[in-house]
Amino acid sequence: MQLHWLDLAIILAYIAATLLIGFWISKRASKDLRAYFLGGNTMPWYMLGLSNASGMFDISGTMWMVYLLFIYGLKSVWIPWLWPVFNQIFMMVFLSMWLRRTGVMTGAEWITFRFGKGQGARLSHLIVVVFALLNVIGFLAYGFIGIGKFAATFLPWQLSADPTWNANLYGIIITLVTTIYVVKGGMFSVVFTEVMQYVLMTIACIAVGIIAMNEVSPEMLNKVIPDGWTQLFFGAKLDLDWSGILDAANAQIAKDGWSMFGAFWMMMLFKGALQSMAGPAPNYDMQRVLSTRTPTEAAKMSFFVNVVLLFPRYLLVAGLTVLALVFFMGDLRQMGPNVDFELILPFALKNYIPVGLLGLLIAGLLAAFMSTFAATVNAAPAYLVNDVYKHYINPHAEQKTYVRLSYLVSVVFVLIGIGIGLFVQSLNDLVQWIVAALYGGYTASNLLKWYWWRFNSHGYFWGMVGGIGGAMVVPWLMPGIADIYAFPIILLISLVGCIAGSLLTPPDDEAILKHFYLKVRPWGFWKPIHDKLIVEYPGLVKNKDLGRDVVNVVVGLAWQTAITAAPIFLVIEHWRAFGISMLFIALSSIFLKFNWWNKLQDYPDELAKL
């Protein structure tokens, strides 16, 4: 495809602006590590929220969501629970405040705050760095695969007859360009460019939704979708039959392993609730929370992510899916059984978006890729430099030495991510392994660390070792089965390591436990520590917010689901369902205003008096 000169001009102008911002901000960002990784804790919550939303608005994830909506219809709204997408509800209700109260810089530094500096804490510190770096590599490979497939569809220079070779080449070029600006600018560069990227992407999303509504009527759509495609709710089975419409879609459903949708949904809810209660994985989401100015701003930031991310993103997803269903179905049928559904997004853009808007959309999706990739790259040196080199090797180096080493680490991890991406060509396979297996190994240790006082550093270490080992081995022992069904086994292995490691070793230092409980004030099984602190602080009141937090999480989860479904109903012109969704969003927002927002506290009232 030969892009129009106007589209190329828009794309090149955007890339140039992004690089200029990165270098312009780099002097401020390179002042010290806190400025580089957290922006000096000076940025307002709404900018960090826009940045976080932009970072989650990645091109690979958007390609994956278009593929899901195309095949699974409205039931695809539930499938991102695999991540789980609703972890942002748990974050906004209570976990973002708990995390920000610690005042640390990274997830690994959090370990010292929770467990102290003994041998077990050092082991835990190192194992969470290992997990964080595996997570970074996985997401860099994920981004590389998506951008390569996307770029190879649009850019005019096809240097090989092999489309995979072209995709890999373009993936390498674009990821290296992206690395330049994020390495120079750190968190300041990431946030400022992501705010710009978000504005650009939102304009493009609205435009695509309008185009789809103008070009495709409900009658046209109904002719190319199976019965049940427009239904949000489900029974025990998926009950979507593409026979005679697109037989390859039935084969893809069987390959995904989600035909028993009721059981799949229950497993997502079970896994997702546990992972959400464990708090964020040590990645860009955690970095945004730690970058906020106060604990209440951290909660508001997590709330804002839901508001600004979901509606525009699903306008784009729904718009491109509807255009592909109606106008691209013939091409997909001609591909026979070898359809790559992850290419639906770039093919829809290529054929049905007009000049000018196409350039804006491609620039927006490049922005989305750069956002996620930048945020992920920024996380790698935060852990390796701050938590290993500074902590164990050279604690007294100059700040500029740490920042320069961060540049080097970023480049090395980009190259490793590209190397992994060259060998893994399916976004869906990589997504399922990251969210089901790798995050499954993270769950038990990071759940217990918040809620059980007796859980110690040795338990954390052995739980993480068992979980990461299980994530590497269990899916390999269960070929042909969706990775999510390996989650209970990985969780059990990790849980045995957590409990055995804790009970077979002494409790952590009581002073560390008291400091953690006093400053963070979690609810859970902390009675022995609370009782000892009452002797020192007679006015101390335990956290009694569990009931209210549970209610707010349930309402928030339904609120988030409605925000996700509403733009799809809008694009396919199901007005009754759209109206019900918007009414529910309004009512639940009012409820959350009074039962959550108005009750936010940086710290418990009595803490200020102690």
Share of the chain above pLDDT 70, in %: 85
pTM of the model: 0.86
Confidence band (pLDDT; 50, 70, 90) for 37?
Answer: very low
Tokens of 184: 């120079």
Residue 239 lies in a domain: no
Residue 457 lies in a domain: no
What is the average pLDDT across 589-594?
Answer: 98
Share of the chain above pLDDT 90, in %: 43
Residue 33 lies in a domain: yes
Total number of domains in the chain: 1
- pLDDT above 90 for 442: no
Q: Which residues contact 140 (CB under 8 A, 6 or more apart)?
A: 175, 373, 376, 377, 413, 414, 416, 417, 418, 420, 421
- pLDDT above 90 for 101: yes
pLDDT at residue 427, as a whole number: 62
**Residue 107 near residue 442 (C-beta atoms within 8 A):** no
Residue 522 lies in a domain: no
Identify which has the larger pLDDT, 109 or 309: 309
pLDDT at residue 571, as a whole number: 98
pLDDT at residue 36, as a whole number: 44
Write down the H helix ranges in 336-456. Answer: 344-352, 357-384, 399-423, 427-432, 439-451
469 by Cβ neighbours in 10 Å (0-12 / 13-18 / 19+) ranks as middle
pLDDT at residue 61, as a whole number: 80
Confidence band (pLDDT; 50, 70, 90) for 33?
Answer: very low
**Residue 146 near residue 369 (C-beta atoms within 8 A):** yes
pLDDT at residue 329, as a whole number: 87
Tokens of 543: 């956290």
pLDDT at residue 38, as a whole number: 46
Following CA atoms 19, 20, 24, 27 in sequence, which dihedral angle do they give, to the nearest 10 degrees? Answer: 30
- pLDDT above 50 for 424: yes
What is the average pLDDT across 425-453?
Answer: 79
Report the distance separating Cα 113 and Cα 107, nearest Å: 10
Identify which has the larger pLDDT, 369 or 100: 100
pLDDT at residue 500, as a whole number: 97
pLDDT at residue 495, as a whole number: 96
Question: Rg of the chain's alpha carbons, rounded to an integer?
Answer: 24
Q: Which of 340-349, 429-438, 566-575 has the lowest mean pLDDT?
A: 429-438
Cis peptide, bond prior to residue 84, ω within 30 of zero: yes
pLDDT at residue 276, as a whole number: 94
Q: Which residues contact 202 (CB under 8 A, 6 or more apart)?
A: 308, 312
pLDDT at residue 441, as a whole number: 80
Residue 96 lies in a domain: yes
pLDDT at residue 144, as a whole number: 77
Tokens of 529: 């520590």
Confidence band (pLDDT; 50, 70, 90) for 289?
Answer: confident
Report the distance separating Cα 503 and Cα 493, nearest Å: 16
- The tens digit of pLDDT for each residue in 228-274 reads 999 999 999 998 999 999 999 999 999 888 999 999 999 999 999 99
182-201 as b/e: b if 16+ CB within 10 A: bbbbbbbbbbbbbbbbbebb
335-357 as b/e: b if 16+ CB within 10 A: eeeebbbbbbbbbbbbebbeeeb
Q: What are phi and psi for residue 558, nearest 5 degrees?
A: -65, -40
> What CATH number did the domain enclosing 193 receive?
1.20.1730
Report the distance separating Cα 508 and Cα 529, nearest Å: 12
Residue 463 lies in a domain: no
Amino acid at 471: A
Residue range(s) defining the domain that contains residue 94: 5-212+270-318+342-425+543-609
Residue 490 lies in a domain: no
Residue 368 lies in a domain: yes
Mean pLDDT of the chain: 84
DSSP conformation class of 542 = -
What is the average pLDDT across 474-487?
Answer: 81
Q: Which of 103-117, 296-310, 463-477 has the lowest mean pLDDT?
A: 103-117
Please report how the helices 5-29 and 357-384 are oriented relative to each other, as an axis angle in degrees rounded to 10: 30
- The tens digit of pLDDT for each residue in 50-92 reads 877 776 777 778 888 999 999 999 999 999 998 889 999 999 9
- pLDDT above 90 for 555: yes
